[in-house]
Structure 1
Amino acid sequence: MRTKEEMFQLILTIAEKDPRILAVGMNGSRTNKNAPKDLFQDYDIVYIVESVEVFRKDQSWLAEFGPRLIMQTPEDMVLFPPTKDGRFAYLMLFEDGNRIDLTLCPKEQAAYWNEGDLLAEILLDKNHLLPNLMEATDQNYWIKKPTQEEFSDCCNEFWWVSTYVVKGLCRNELFYAADHLHDNCQKELLRLLSWQVAGKHGYHFSIGKNYKYLPNYLTEEQYEQLVKTMNISSIFLAWSALLSLQKQFDYYARIVSQKNHFIYDQKTAEKVKLYTNNWFTKQSKLAFKEN
């Protein structure tokens, strides 16, 4: 596997010798001094270029980065529409394990090449095209203190979607139930937990994409209880996960509401928990009779 020094040298050498590449910027975890360092860190690179289309028409220049294991070009995809107007990205995983997420940015967008992301560094600027940047910081990704409205929305979403899970489980539709459990209920609990730990430790740190650093701030018991809710491989386990999620959510919602002097709709929470338990009891009895 090529070393970090070798990769940076390669990225800069390609840019330096190609007059069509005007500047090089980097963002992502490699600019974040707080991010753990390992072999899986991507190189999130931006080439500011004279013309994006010229590079797109002839992609033979990509071979200079080395043999690829797989590549994705989001702007060429139909199933997953791109979001960056005028830009073009090459997401490349190489056979040696290194990965470069390389975005071509037209020179017309040079003034905001990093799109306001404070986790950004300038690696090369041939013609002083790019604006000066402050020292890279992950401040944009710090947990933000919730408002009453945000807290209420989080709670309402959790308890409302809980009823979808109940419906799916009673219909024996595991995929439907599991999808709502994972994409809605678990995510709202993680959001709530992020507010809880930030209220305890201060709103001056990031827990990373997809809450990946959240376990660092949980007790062993909290972590184990949360992980158990991720086992939803059967109707019974999905019921168990839902009941546990509701118990945990209610507990942390009370803590967050008290800490921030928020109004928590405890009455609705109790009604949904009762609704869930009633249906769980009915389904359990029905399953017992069938067996």
Structure 2
Amino acid sequence: MRTEREMMNMLIDLAKNDNRIRLITLEGSRTNKNIPRDSFQDYDISYFVTDMDSFKESDLWLDIFGKRLMMQKPEDMELFPPELGNWFSYLMLFEDGNRIDLTLIPVNEVDDYFSKSDGLVEVLLDKDSLVKNDVIPSDRKYWIKKPTAREFDDCCNEFWWVSTYVVKGLARREILFAVDHLHEIVRSNLLRMMSWQIGLEKGFNFSLGKNYKFIYHYLPKEDWETLLTTYSESSYSNMWQSLFTCYELFRKYSKSVAEDLGYKYPDHDESISNYTQNIYKSLNE
């Protein structure tokens, strides 16, 4: 596998030798000092160019990066409508395992790019001094945020309300419907509540990573292992148990957050827990 230095030199040298490329930025985890380095990190690169169409005419210019195992061009797909406006991206996986996510951006959209940035940006080359202010990568946008009383109540409301959809799916024997609601909404709000408790204990000045991937560093071992059991979704009995376990964990963490912040603990817990138990018992009589 090519080293990080080899990859960065290659990406920058191409831009230095191509007058159409005026600015290069690096984004994502490789700019974040809080993320451990590994060989799976993408090279998230943006080239700010003067002539978009000349790049898009052919993919041959990309061959300089090496032999590709696969490439996706999200803005050139029919099934998934483009979302980047005038920007155009190439997602490339190479034979040696390196991956480049390369985006072409019209050079006149520099200001728009930085206004939309998540803060994890590093300027690699700026031929025309287009970037007027110092750019220091920061993951502040992803730090845990202390919830307002309304945000706390909304999280509780969403967790317990969507739980009824899981119950409905299980009662109807529509397991995929139930799985999607448990995974996409119910458990995501459980993780949100857990993150707030972690913030109250450890401070609101760090990130738990994308998809809460570092949350296990901060949860009690018992709670982490219990949380993992809620990912058992391969049968109706497992799904019921996963739902009940989510209830237990959410109850524990939301009550703790409410107490620490002086917020009112809502009545949804008792009413929806009773509703769920009634449905479950009726199906097992």
TM-score, structure 2 as length reference: 0.97
1:122 alignment partner, SS class: strand
Spell out the pairing of 1:134-173 with structure 2 (5 A cutoff): 134-173=135-174
Spell out the pairing of 1:1-20 with structure 2 (5 A cutoff): 1-20=1-20
| CA distance in structure 2 between the partners assigned to 1:166 and 1:137 by the alignment | 41
CA deviations on 1:180-218 (whole Å, 9 max, x unpaired) are 110111101011111110111000000111111111111
Instruction: Please tell me the residue identity of whatever aligns with 1:166.
Output: V
2:221 aligned residue: 220
Structure 2 runs not aligned, ≥5 long: none
| CA distance in structure 1 between the partners assigned to 2:247 and 2:269 by the alignment | 8
Given that 2:71 and 2:91 are in contact with CA atoms closer than 8 Å, whether structure 1 keeps it comes out as: yes
Identity of aligned residues (%): 48
| CA distance in structure 2 between the partners assigned to 1:168 and 1:276 by the alignment | 12
Given that 1:121 and 1:133 are in contact with CA atoms closer than 8 Å, whether structure 2 keeps it comes out as: no
| CA distance in structure 2 between the partners assigned to 1:145 and 1:53 by the alignment | 45
Mean CA deviation greater in 163-172 or 134-143: 134-143
Given that 1:111 and 1:131 are in contact with CA atoms closer than 8 Å, whether structure 2 keeps it comes out as: no
Given that 1:21 and 1:47 are in contact with CA atoms closer than 8 Å, whether structure 2 keeps it comes out as: yes
1:74 aligned residue: 74
Q: CA deviation at 1:117?
A: 2.5
The number of residue pairs the alignment matches comes to 284
2:205 aligned residue: 204
CA deviations on 1:247-277 (whole Å, 9 max, x unpaired) are 1111111111111111221x22101001111
Q: CA deviation at 1:52?
A: 1.6
Q: CA deviation at 1:84?
A: 1.6
| CA distance in structure 1 between the partners assigned to 2:72 and 2:148 by the alignment | 38
CA deviations on 1:74-129 (whole Å, 9 max, x unpaired) are 11123322222211111111111001111111011122434233211110111212
Instruction: Please tell me the residue identity of whatever aligns with 2:44.
Output: D
Q: CA deviation at 1:135?
A: 2.0
Runs of 4+ in 1 over 4 A off after TM superposition: none
Spell out the pairing of 1:1-291 with structure 2 (5 A cutoff): 1-114=1-114, 115-265=116-266, 267-285=267-285
Given that 1:23 and 1:126 are in contact with CA atoms closer than 8 Å, whether structure 2 keeps it comes out as: yes
TM-score, structure 1 as length reference: 0.95
Instruction: Please tell me the residue identity of whatever aligns with 2:225.
Output: E
CA deviations on 1:222-264 (whole Å, 9 max, x unpaired) are 1101000000100000000001111111111111111111122
Given that 2:47 and 2:105 are in contact with CA atoms closer than 8 Å, whether structure 1 keeps it comes out as: yes
Structure 1 runs not aligned, ≥5 long: 286-291
| CA distance in structure 1 between the partners assigned to 2:44 and 2:59 by the alignment | 19
